[in-house]
Structure 1
Amino acid sequence: MHQYQYYTGPPVYTGDQYTGPPRIGSEGVTDTDKNGFLIDFIYTITNNLTKSSNHFRYSDKIKDFALCLYILGGKLTYEFIRLNIPGSLPSLTMLTKLILNSNLKISEAEFRFDQLQKHFENLNLQYAFGSEDATGVIKKIKYDSITNKFIGFPTPLEHGVPIKEYYPTDSLDTLKLWFNSIDKSSLLNVHMIQPVQSTTQNTIPSPFLLSAYGIDNTATANDRLQRWWYIFNQCLQRNIRIIGFSTDADAKYVRAMRLMSGVFASLPNFPVHQHQQAFTVKLKSRWP
């Protein structure tokens, strides 16, 4: 049985980063990882409580935890915890800056293929499944000050692909015209990419949010098919092989799948099976 001795001296720092008291095992090996976050969290609270709120400081671990909590729990949950545990988490203003600086903000109708490529390079994977689905949202219009455009109108499609930043204007008359002539988006369409784990991995890789944008359910099955074709080719250029698409049983999605697979449907002007990267099944000329 290992016997542990605990360090009782002063806290250990690496530059401005508090690493907590090291734990020394019977073989003289220092172990600070097991409860590293908990130690850092407690130290952050006790250290910040001795300062004014303008001088609160947070380590990278605390910032990463704050981002995860905000994304998974939402604004109300984050504020409830932050206000009830003073000094533990960054303010919403600081959190917004972290999101902007970390490239976590997603623009409507933007397909993040370059970020997807980096994600796959970090995972050292190549194969993936694509998925697409829509969910109902509250109809409302918001102004995005970063891109200087309005969000909440249905995103127009060009060959099935949504047009990015379609509603920028500095004219009040144009904005009034949009409100009077264009209905608000009733659905949010989301594209996800799920990496396929290799045989050497024990855990399923996390999915990647490729794009999201508002729609009004007027897109056709052909629009969806062209959009999948666009995603497939863009990923292929980045050495990512999409081996299939998945979605629910919406009639337009099902028709798009039938057209792609050739099940009781055909696409005479869209020869997907002639693509050089199309999967083929090699059959023997004779069965045993």
Structure 2
Amino acid sequence: MTASAMESAADALRAGACVAWELPGDRMVRHARRIVSDVVSGLGVPEDFVHTATVAVSELATNALVHGSAHAALESGPPVTGLPELWLYVRGTALPRELVLSVFDMGLGASWSAATVPAVGVPDAESESGRGLQILGALAEESQGRWGMHPSRAPLGAYRLPGTAAWLALPLPSEIRAGPAFRDISPAEAIESLASHLRHRGIDGDELQARVNGRAARLSVRHLTVWALNGAYRWCGASGPRRRPLADVVDATDQILAETELARRRSEMEG
């Protein structure tokens, strides 16, 4: 990654955007390590934070290499469909904010029968569906972070294909100013922003129905209804009521995708 590309990605993280890269073939672990080392260093965090993030993405990328890369397919030209992807973004509007490192692959992951979405925990080492990510659990515990995996959809490639995202969220030092900032936007604007993010992730326009009612607005996303009300996105999913600040639209998008993809997969299994 060039110095200018590193600076551009770090600036995007500071502004609250999600930055994503495709991870090519058998070089994907090394590629992911280099990206994270360069971009996270550009945030001005301590060296031990960079080290933890680099170790984490090594585990995430190795997991995707084993479980997801076989689904990649070349198109007639770029982009490639089905390659694992690395996503970085900062979530939270209060301190400490979290840097989220997520690697997406085309594997179906666990059976997603648990009630909690995103699925969080330490899987059994021999479990194919659990993927044996104990190192992430240890890193999360050591750093007071969180980790998990959940169904999602790719933001890159020719098609926004479904798959599984495994992630680690690391608390950022309080002096690092990065991530979503408070925005005084109307509920209608917030719902349109969310709808735009979901369309970018492959949710068809016919599956999104927006309604505005005075100081509130709502978006129907497949089976799920999301409200923009009193400065937050609100919905009730498999694990109960959920809430994300309107400024945190990137994280809200990924959590809503986890809910809708979980419901879609269960419906397919039952049907």
TM-score, scaled relative to structure 1 = 0.22
Structure (1 or 2) with the greater strand fraction: 2
Structure number with bigger Rg: 1
Q: Which has the higher contact order (CA 8 A, sep 6+)?
A: 2
